[in-house]
Structure 1
Protein backbone atom coordinates (compact mmCIF):
# COMPACT_ATOMS: atom_id res chain seq x y z
CA UNK A 1 0.00 0.00 0.00
CA UNK A 2 1.34 3.43 -0.94
CA UNK A 3 0.43 6.40 1.28
CA UNK A 4 1.10 10.11 0.72
CA UNK A 5 1.44 12.02 4.00
CA UNK A 6 1.44 15.83 3.93
CA UNK A 7 2.19 17.72 7.15
CA UNK A 8 4.27 20.83 7.79
CA UNK A 9 5.70 19.60 11.11
CA UNK A 10 8.83 17.48 10.71
CA UNK A 11 8.34 15.67 14.02
CA UNK A 12 4.70 14.85 13.33
CA UNK A 13 5.51 13.68 9.80
CA UNK A 14 8.30 11.44 11.03
CA UNK A 15 6.17 9.97 13.84
CA UNK A 16 3.20 9.19 11.60
CA UNK A 17 5.47 7.75 8.92
CA UNK A 18 7.09 5.49 11.52
CA UNK A 19 3.68 4.35 12.79
CA UNK A 20 2.53 3.39 9.30
CA UNK A 21 5.78 1.88 8.06
CA UNK A 22 5.91 -0.43 11.07
CA UNK A 23 3.60 -2.46 8.81
CA UNK A 24 5.63 -4.31 6.17
CA UNK A 25 3.18 -3.66 3.33
CA UNK A 26 2.89 0.12 3.78
CA UNK A 27 5.20 2.61 2.05
CA UNK A 28 4.89 6.28 3.02
CA UNK A 29 5.97 9.29 0.95
CA UNK A 30 6.06 12.53 2.97
CA UNK A 31 5.77 16.17 1.84
CA UNK A 32 5.59 19.44 3.85
CA UNK A 33 2.75 21.37 2.20
CA UNK A 34 -0.26 21.22 -0.09
CA UNK A 35 1.52 22.21 -3.29
CA UNK A 36 4.03 19.38 -2.83
CA UNK A 37 1.17 17.00 -2.07
CA UNK A 38 -0.71 17.94 -5.25
CA UNK A 39 2.46 17.61 -7.31
CA UNK A 40 3.22 14.16 -5.88
CA UNK A 41 -0.40 13.01 -6.28
CA UNK A 42 -0.44 14.08 -9.92
CA UNK A 43 2.74 12.10 -10.71
CA UNK A 44 1.99 8.87 -8.87
CA UNK A 45 -1.15 7.03 -7.77
CA UNK A 46 -1.43 6.61 -4.01
CA UNK A 47 -3.83 4.29 -2.22
CA UNK A 48 -4.48 6.96 0.42
CA UNK A 49 -3.57 10.67 0.70
CA UNK A 50 -3.41 12.15 4.23
CA UNK A 51 -3.51 15.95 4.54
CA UNK A 52 -2.89 18.05 7.64
CA UNK A 53 -5.84 20.44 7.94
CA UNK A 54 -3.75 23.40 9.13
CA UNK A 55 -0.66 23.19 6.91
CA UNK A 56 0.35 25.92 4.41
CA UNK A 57 -1.81 26.11 1.29
CA UNK A 58 -4.84 24.31 2.67
CA UNK A 59 -7.16 27.32 3.10
CA UNK A 60 -9.64 25.21 4.97
CA UNK A 61 -11.09 22.51 2.77
CA UNK A 62 -10.12 24.14 -0.53
CA UNK A 63 -6.82 22.32 -0.38
CA UNK A 64 -8.55 18.99 0.01
CA UNK A 65 -10.48 19.53 -3.21
CA UNK A 66 -7.25 20.40 -5.04
CA UNK A 67 -5.58 17.25 -3.75
CA UNK A 68 -8.55 15.10 -4.77
CA UNK A 69 -8.40 16.56 -8.27
CA UNK A 70 -4.62 16.13 -8.50
CA UNK A 71 -4.89 12.53 -7.32
CA UNK A 72 -7.46 11.59 -9.93
CA UNK A 73 -10.11 10.88 -7.31
CA UNK A 74 -7.97 8.69 -5.05
CA UNK A 75 -9.05 8.66 -1.35
CA UNK A 76 -8.05 11.82 0.53
CA UNK A 77 -8.39 12.08 4.31
CA UNK A 78 -7.94 15.04 6.64
CA UNK A 79 -5.76 14.92 9.77
CA UNK A 80 -5.94 17.43 12.60
CA UNK A 81 -5.01 17.91 16.20
CA UNK A 82 -7.34 20.82 16.88
CA UNK A 83 -10.19 20.83 14.32
CA UNK A 84 -13.76 20.68 15.61
CA UNK A 85 -16.47 18.15 14.88
CA UNK A 86 -18.08 20.62 12.46
CA UNK A 87 -14.85 20.74 10.42
CA UNK A 88 -14.83 16.94 10.29
CA UNK A 89 -18.46 16.91 9.15
CA UNK A 90 -17.75 19.53 6.48
CA UNK A 91 -14.73 17.56 5.25
CA UNK A 92 -16.79 14.37 4.92
CA UNK A 93 -19.60 16.26 3.17
CA UNK A 94 -17.02 17.65 0.71
CA UNK A 95 -15.86 14.16 -0.19
CA UNK A 96 -13.13 13.35 2.33
CA UNK A 97 -12.47 9.64 2.70
CA UNK A 98 -11.88 10.13 6.40
CA UNK A 99 -11.03 12.38 9.33
CA UNK A 100 -8.12 11.31 11.55
CA UNK A 101 -7.44 13.08 14.88
CA UNK A 102 -3.70 13.29 15.54
CA UNK A 103 -4.33 11.93 19.01
CA UNK A 104 -4.95 8.47 17.53
CA UNK A 105 -2.69 5.64 18.62
CA UNK A 106 -0.42 3.87 16.15
CA UNK A 107 -2.63 0.80 15.79
CA UNK A 108 -5.78 2.88 15.27
CA UNK A 109 -4.03 4.98 12.64
CA UNK A 110 -2.92 1.92 10.70
CA UNK A 111 -6.42 0.43 10.87
CA UNK A 112 -7.96 3.72 9.71
CA UNK A 113 -5.64 3.95 6.70
CA UNK A 114 -6.37 0.34 5.73
CA UNK A 115 -10.10 1.03 6.07
CA UNK A 116 -9.83 4.08 3.77
CA UNK A 117 -7.68 2.19 1.24
CA UNK A 118 -10.42 -0.45 1.08
CA UNK A 119 -12.84 2.21 -0.16
CA UNK A 120 -14.58 2.95 3.14
CA UNK A 121 -15.03 6.28 4.93
CA UNK A 122 -13.37 6.50 8.33
CA UNK A 123 -14.11 8.79 11.27
CA UNK A 124 -13.80 7.86 14.96
CA UNK A 125 -17.26 7.25 16.40
CA UNK A 126 -16.33 8.67 19.81
CA UNK A 127 -15.02 11.85 18.15
CA UNK A 128 -18.28 12.44 16.28
CA UNK A 129 -20.46 11.55 19.27
CA UNK A 130 -18.68 13.83 21.73
CA UNK A 131 -19.32 17.56 21.85
CA UNK A 132 -16.55 20.04 21.04
CA UNK A 133 -16.79 21.28 24.63
CA UNK A 134 -16.21 17.77 25.98
CA UNK A 135 -13.17 17.30 23.75
CA UNK A 136 -11.66 20.67 24.44
CA UNK A 137 -8.62 20.43 26.68
CA UNK A 138 -8.88 22.51 29.89
CA UNK A 139 -5.76 24.47 28.94
CA UNK A 140 -7.04 25.06 25.40
CA UNK A 141 -10.36 26.43 26.62
CA UNK A 142 -8.86 29.87 27.30
CA UNK A 143 -6.76 30.03 24.13
CA UNK A 144 -7.71 31.25 20.67
CA UNK A 145 -7.16 29.00 17.64
CA UNK A 146 -4.21 31.21 16.61
CA UNK A 147 -2.68 30.98 20.09
CA UNK A 148 -3.00 27.19 19.92
CA UNK A 149 -1.20 27.20 16.56
CA UNK A 150 1.64 29.26 18.04
CA UNK A 151 1.79 27.12 21.19
CA UNK A 152 1.95 23.92 19.15
CA UNK A 153 4.96 25.29 17.29
CA UNK A 154 6.60 26.40 20.54
CA UNK A 155 6.32 22.78 21.65
CA UNK A 156 8.21 21.79 18.50
CA UNK A 157 11.01 24.17 19.44
CA UNK A 158 10.50 26.64 16.57
CA UNK A 159 11.84 30.19 16.86
CA UNK A 160 9.52 33.21 16.43
CA UNK A 161 10.88 33.80 12.94
CA UNK A 162 10.10 30.21 11.90
CA UNK A 163 6.62 30.36 13.43
CA UNK A 164 5.94 33.64 11.63
CA UNK A 165 6.97 32.09 8.32
CA UNK A 166 4.82 28.99 8.86
CA UNK A 167 1.72 30.97 9.85
CA UNK A 168 2.34 33.77 7.33
CA UNK A 169 2.41 36.42 10.08
CA UNK A 170 4.81 39.17 11.14
CA UNK A 171 7.45 38.20 13.71
CA UNK A 172 6.26 41.00 16.01
CA UNK A 173 2.79 39.43 15.98
CA UNK A 174 4.23 36.09 17.07
CA UNK A 175 6.08 37.83 19.93
CA UNK A 176 2.77 39.28 21.12
CA UNK A 177 1.11 35.85 20.95
CA UNK A 178 3.98 34.30 22.92
CA UNK A 179 3.67 37.02 25.56
CA UNK A 180 -0.09 36.40 25.83
CA UNK A 181 0.45 32.63 26.03
CA UNK A 182 2.93 33.04 28.87
CA UNK A 183 0.44 35.21 30.76
CA UNK A 184 -2.48 32.81 30.22
CA UNK A 185 -0.43 29.74 31.11
CA UNK A 186 1.30 31.47 34.06
CA UNK A 187 4.63 30.67 32.46
CA UNK A 188 7.83 32.67 32.99
CA UNK A 189 8.99 32.19 29.41
CA UNK A 190 8.30 30.41 26.11
CA UNK A 191 10.16 27.26 27.19
CA UNK A 192 8.06 26.92 30.32
CA UNK A 193 4.88 27.54 28.31
CA UNK A 194 5.82 24.67 25.99
CA UNK A 195 6.61 22.40 28.95
CA UNK A 196 3.26 23.20 30.58
CA UNK A 197 1.43 22.31 27.34
CA UNK A 198 3.43 19.09 26.87
CA UNK A 199 3.06 17.98 30.51
CA UNK A 200 -0.68 18.53 30.28
CA UNK A 201 -0.86 16.35 27.14
CA UNK A 202 -2.20 19.18 25.00
CA UNK A 203 0.05 18.22 22.06
Structure 2
Protein backbone atom coordinates (compact mmCIF):
# COMPACT_ATOMS: atom_id res chain seq x y z
CA UNK A 1 0.00 0.00 0.00
CA UNK A 2 1.55 3.30 -1.11
CA UNK A 3 1.66 6.50 0.86
CA UNK A 4 -1.14 9.07 0.86
CA UNK A 5 0.44 12.44 0.28
CA UNK A 6 -1.15 15.89 0.13
CA UNK A 7 0.71 18.44 -2.00
CA UNK A 8 -0.54 22.03 -1.63
CA UNK A 9 0.92 24.66 -3.96
CA UNK A 10 -0.70 27.50 -5.90
CA UNK A 11 1.23 26.57 -9.05
CA UNK A 12 -0.50 23.71 -10.84
CA UNK A 13 2.69 22.82 -12.71
CA UNK A 14 4.60 22.36 -9.45
CA UNK A 15 1.84 20.15 -8.00
CA UNK A 16 1.57 18.07 -11.17
CA UNK A 17 5.34 17.61 -11.41
CA UNK A 18 5.66 16.44 -7.80
CA UNK A 19 2.61 14.18 -8.19
CA UNK A 20 3.98 12.69 -11.41
CA UNK A 21 7.33 11.78 -9.83
CA UNK A 22 5.81 10.35 -6.66
CA UNK A 23 3.13 8.34 -8.44
CA UNK A 24 5.29 7.08 -11.31
CA UNK A 25 7.77 5.36 -9.01
CA UNK A 26 5.01 3.86 -6.88
CA UNK A 27 5.70 5.99 -3.81
CA UNK A 28 1.99 6.61 -3.33
CA UNK A 29 -1.13 8.51 -4.21
CA UNK A 30 -0.97 12.31 -4.34
CA UNK A 31 -3.94 14.55 -3.53
CA UNK A 32 -3.58 18.18 -4.63
CA UNK A 33 -4.68 21.55 -3.22
CA UNK A 34 -4.05 25.11 -4.43
CA UNK A 35 -4.48 27.11 -1.23
CA UNK A 36 -3.92 26.59 2.47
CA UNK A 37 -7.69 26.63 3.11
CA UNK A 38 -8.23 23.82 0.61
CA UNK A 39 -5.36 21.84 2.14
CA UNK A 40 -6.77 22.19 5.67
CA UNK A 41 -10.24 21.15 4.45
CA UNK A 42 -8.78 18.04 2.79
CA UNK A 43 -6.86 17.19 5.95
CA UNK A 44 -10.10 17.37 7.92
CA UNK A 45 -12.23 15.45 5.41
CA UNK A 46 -9.74 12.78 4.27
CA UNK A 47 -8.32 11.83 7.64
CA UNK A 48 -4.60 11.73 8.32
CA UNK A 49 -2.20 11.84 5.36
CA UNK A 50 1.17 10.07 5.57
CA UNK A 51 2.72 13.40 4.62
CA UNK A 52 1.50 16.92 3.88
CA UNK A 53 3.66 19.27 1.78
CA UNK A 54 2.79 22.98 1.88
CA UNK A 55 4.15 25.69 -0.39
CA UNK A 56 5.56 28.45 1.82
CA UNK A 57 4.18 31.32 -0.30
CA UNK A 58 0.76 30.08 -1.48
CA UNK A 59 -2.41 32.04 -0.60
CA UNK A 60 -3.43 31.85 3.05
CA UNK A 61 -0.05 30.75 4.42
CA UNK A 62 0.88 34.05 6.13
CA UNK A 63 4.45 32.88 6.51
CA UNK A 64 4.73 30.10 9.06
CA UNK A 65 1.19 30.57 10.45
CA UNK A 66 -0.10 28.13 7.82
CA UNK A 67 2.40 25.52 8.92
CA UNK A 68 1.24 25.89 12.53
CA UNK A 69 -2.41 25.47 11.48
CA UNK A 70 -1.63 22.32 9.50
CA UNK A 71 0.49 20.83 12.29
CA UNK A 72 -2.42 21.36 14.68
CA UNK A 73 -4.74 19.12 12.67
CA UNK A 74 -2.24 16.65 11.20
CA UNK A 75 -2.77 14.18 14.04
CA UNK A 76 0.96 14.05 14.66
CA UNK A 77 1.69 13.05 11.06
CA UNK A 78 4.50 14.85 9.22
CA UNK A 79 3.99 18.24 7.59
CA UNK A 80 6.80 19.67 5.45
CA UNK A 81 7.37 22.90 3.53
CA UNK A 82 8.34 23.35 -0.11
CA UNK A 83 9.55 26.71 -1.31
CA UNK A 84 11.05 28.49 -4.26
CA UNK A 85 11.94 31.59 -2.27
CA UNK A 86 12.37 30.51 1.37
CA UNK A 87 15.64 31.31 3.11
CA UNK A 88 17.72 29.24 5.52
CA UNK A 89 16.24 31.27 8.38
CA UNK A 90 12.68 30.34 7.28
CA UNK A 91 13.75 26.68 6.99
CA UNK A 92 15.26 26.72 10.47
CA UNK A 93 12.18 28.39 12.00
CA UNK A 94 9.93 25.83 10.27
CA UNK A 95 11.97 22.93 11.65
CA UNK A 96 11.93 24.52 15.11
CA UNK A 97 8.11 24.66 14.93
CA UNK A 98 7.96 20.95 14.18
CA UNK A 99 8.02 20.76 10.38
CA UNK A 100 9.11 17.40 8.98
CA UNK A 101 11.38 19.11 6.53
CA UNK A 102 12.08 21.90 4.08
CA UNK A 103 12.38 21.22 0.34
CA UNK A 104 13.73 23.94 -1.97
CA UNK A 105 12.00 23.73 -5.36
CA UNK A 106 15.44 23.71 -6.98
CA UNK A 107 16.01 20.13 -5.79
CA UNK A 108 16.48 17.46 -8.49
CA UNK A 109 13.37 15.29 -8.89
CA UNK A 110 15.06 12.12 -7.61
CA UNK A 111 16.26 13.89 -4.45
CA UNK A 112 12.78 15.29 -3.95
CA UNK A 113 11.17 11.84 -4.11
CA UNK A 114 13.75 10.45 -1.67
CA UNK A 115 13.15 13.37 0.70
CA UNK A 116 9.38 12.77 0.61
CA UNK A 117 9.85 9.08 1.50
CA UNK A 118 12.25 10.09 4.24
CA UNK A 119 9.76 12.53 5.80
CA UNK A 120 6.85 10.08 5.48
CA UNK A 121 8.90 7.63 7.57
CA UNK A 122 9.02 10.20 10.35
CA UNK A 123 12.52 11.52 9.65
CA UNK A 124 13.43 15.21 9.46
CA UNK A 125 14.77 16.40 6.12
CA UNK A 126 16.63 19.59 5.19
CA UNK A 127 19.29 19.64 2.46
CA UNK A 128 22.71 20.10 4.10
CA UNK A 129 24.08 22.36 1.36
CA UNK A 130 20.99 24.59 1.58
CA UNK A 131 21.12 24.79 5.39
CA UNK A 132 24.84 25.58 5.37
CA UNK A 133 24.36 28.32 2.79
CA UNK A 134 26.94 26.91 0.39
CA UNK A 135 24.56 27.31 -2.54
CA UNK A 136 23.23 30.70 -1.54
CA UNK A 137 23.15 33.19 -4.34
CA UNK A 138 24.56 36.44 -3.01
CA UNK A 139 21.90 39.08 -2.53
CA UNK A 140 21.94 41.42 -5.50
CA UNK A 141 22.11 45.20 -5.16
CA UNK A 142 18.65 45.21 -6.74
CA UNK A 143 17.25 43.09 -3.87
CA UNK A 144 19.10 45.05 -1.20
CA UNK A 145 17.29 48.20 -2.29
CA UNK A 146 13.87 46.66 -1.50
CA UNK A 147 12.21 45.92 1.84
CA UNK A 148 10.81 42.42 2.50
CA UNK A 149 7.28 43.71 1.95
CA UNK A 150 8.24 45.41 -1.31
CA UNK A 151 9.75 42.14 -2.54
CA UNK A 152 6.51 40.30 -1.69
CA UNK A 153 4.45 42.89 -3.57
CA UNK A 154 6.86 42.82 -6.53
CA UNK A 155 6.54 39.01 -6.74
CA UNK A 156 2.77 39.52 -6.98
CA UNK A 157 3.24 42.08 -9.77
CA UNK A 158 5.55 39.63 -11.60
CA UNK A 159 2.83 37.00 -11.32
CA UNK A 160 0.48 39.44 -13.09
CA UNK A 161 -1.77 39.71 -10.05
CA UNK A 162 -3.97 42.75 -9.47
CA UNK A 163 -3.52 44.99 -6.40
CA UNK A 164 -6.65 43.37 -4.97
CA UNK A 165 -5.24 39.83 -5.43
CA UNK A 166 -1.89 40.80 -3.91
CA UNK A 167 -3.74 42.41 -0.99
CA UNK A 168 -5.67 39.17 -0.39
CA UNK A 169 -2.49 37.05 -0.63
CA UNK A 170 -0.60 39.23 1.85
CA UNK A 171 -3.67 39.96 3.99
CA UNK A 172 -3.27 43.70 3.60
CA UNK A 173 -5.56 46.50 2.46
CA UNK A 174 -5.70 47.31 -1.26
CA UNK A 175 -4.65 50.99 -0.78
CA UNK A 176 -1.53 49.74 1.06
CA UNK A 177 -0.58 47.61 -1.95
CA UNK A 178 -1.23 50.57 -4.26
CA UNK A 179 1.18 52.63 -2.17
CA UNK A 180 3.84 49.88 -2.30
CA UNK A 181 3.48 49.61 -6.09
CA UNK A 182 3.90 53.39 -6.35
CA UNK A 183 7.03 53.27 -4.18
CA UNK A 184 8.39 50.35 -6.21
CA UNK A 185 7.89 52.23 -9.48
CA UNK A 186 9.73 55.22 -8.02
CA UNK A 187 12.59 53.06 -6.70
CA UNK A 188 12.92 51.13 -9.96
CA UNK A 189 12.52 54.27 -12.08
CA UNK A 190 9.64 52.52 -13.82
CA UNK A 191 6.88 54.24 -15.80
CA UNK A 192 4.21 51.81 -14.54
CA UNK A 193 3.82 48.37 -12.94
CA UNK A 194 4.39 46.52 -16.23
CA UNK A 195 7.59 48.45 -16.79
CA UNK A 196 8.57 47.71 -13.17
CA UNK A 197 8.01 43.99 -13.72
CA UNK A 198 10.25 44.05 -16.81
CA UNK A 199 13.00 45.89 -14.95
CA UNK A 200 12.77 43.37 -12.09
CA UNK A 201 12.96 40.42 -14.52
CA UNK A 202 15.97 41.92 -16.29
CA UNK A 203 17.67 42.28 -12.91
CA UNK A 204 17.16 38.55 -12.29
CA UNK A 205 14.56 39.08 -9.54
CA UNK A 206 12.24 36.10 -9.07
Q: What does residue 152 of structure 2 align with? A: 149
Q: 1:58 to 1:157 in 2, by over 3 A?
A: closer
Alpha carbons of structure 1 residues 54 and 115: separation in structure 2 relative to 1, 3 Å: same
Residue 196 of structure 1 is aligned with which of 185, 195, 199? 199
How far did residue 76 of structure 1 move?
Answer: 0.5
- For 2:102 and 2:43, the matched residues in 1 are separated by 19
* Paired position in structure 1 for 2:4: 2
Pair 185,30 (structure 1): closer, same or farther in 2 beyond 3 Å? farther
Which structure 2 segments of 5+ residues have no match? none
Show the counterpart of 2:43: 41
Q: Is the 8 A contact 2:8 2:15 kept in 1?
A: no
After superposition, give the CA deviation of every residue in 1:115-134 in whole Å (9 maximum; x if it has no partner): 32233211121221128985
Segments of structure 1 that go 5 or more residues without pairing to the other structure are none
Q: 1:15 aligns with which of 9, 13, 16?
A: 13
* Aligned pairs, number: 199
Max radius of gyration: which structure? 2
TM-score, normalising length: structure 1: 0.82
CA distance in 2, matches of 1:197, 1:21: 31
2:153, 2:181 within 8 Å by CA — same for their partners in 1? yes
- Secondary structure, in 3 states, of the residue corresponding to 1:50? strand
- Report if aligned partners of 2:84, 2:104 keep a CA contact under 8 Å in 1: yes
- Length-normalised TM-score, structure 2: 0.81
Which one is further off, 174-183 or 39-48?
39-48
Deviation at 1:97, TM superposition (A): 0.6
Match of 1:163 among 166, 171, 174: 166
Q: Is the 8 A contact 1:38 1:71 kept in 2?
A: no
Aligned residue among 30, 37, 58 for 1:28: 30
